[in-house]
Amino acid sequence: MINFQDKVSFIWSIAEVLRGPYKPEDYGKVILPLAVLRRFDCVLEKSGGSELDPQKHGASGVVEDEKVRLSSILDKLNDRFGTEFSETDYLSREQVKEDILNSDDIRQKAKNNTKENFKFAFERTFMDFVIDRMNTNQDFFMKILENPEFKAYIMEDMMNEVYGEVNS
């Protein structure tokens, strides 16, 4: 079992790697997400992913129904707007929705108002969530493009995951 000091040392070792491209006050923008990803990696490595049973953790527990719903939403968007969005594009929509759902302010307004009144608050903040998510994703991808060490780390990590999943 890794003790607290080992975790602190691990996080600071990441900070040392980032020392060149990041100012010390910017470490938190990268270290926390990487620490969370590492924690997921450790949990999945120990369990083989058994905690990710879709029957226990999904909204409806029925994976096939979700695929039908997803396909229906994508078809409607593509037909109406002449786009060719894929399941990957849909993930962006889901990220924005999760950001909104994680907002205490939005949750409080949704609970304390009628849907009609909530709509005003939602519409005022919607684009803020979209722009924040776009910036978050852009920061991640720009870091891959601009930092060879970060790119190598992500590439190695993903290669291990892809290889493991394909061969398990």
Element containing residue 69 per DSSP (H, E) = helix 63-81
Q: How far apart are CA 163 and CA 108, in angstroms?
A: 43
Q: pTM for this structure? A: 0.51
* pLDDT at site 1: 47
How do residues 86-144 score in pLDDT, each as one tens digit?
777 778 888 888 999 999 999 999 999 999 899 988 988 888 888 888 888 787 778 88
Q: How far apart are CA 82 and CA 102, in angstroms?
A: 31
Q: How far apart are CA 119 and CA 34, in angstroms?
A: 35
Contact, 132 vs 103, CB < 8 A? Answer: no
Phi-psi region of 146 (alpha: psi -120 to 50; beta: other; left: phi over 0): alpha
User: How many CB atoms within 10 Å of residue 18?
Assistant: 20
